[in-house]
Amino acid sequence: MPGQPFMSYIEVSSVDAALKKVVAAGGKVCMPMMEIGKGMGWVGAFQDAEGNLMGFHQGAQATCDEEQSH
């Protein structure tokens, strides 16, 4: 996609929880948690306190396991 910066993603168990930690540490949420495709999981993007753009990825399997236990 033109104009889209290269971004590294970090695998986490919860995108929402990870983004809250970023904000608490002085970072900024650029893209809140969103589903990236059925069965592909979720992503969220942030800018750290030094201006670096990065993302979090949460696999769909973790959520499927949680739903089955309820």
Task: Spell out the residues 6+ positions from residue 30 whose beta carbon is closer than 8 angstroms to its own.
Answer: 45, 46, 47, 53
Residue 42: strand, helix, or coil: strand
pLDDT tens digit sequence for 6-51 = 889 999 999 999 999 999 999 999 999 999 988 899 999 999 988 8
Amino acid 30: pLDDT: 95
Euclidean distance between CA atoms 50 and 6, whole angstroms: 17
Query: Per-residue pLDDT for 70 more than 70?
Result: no
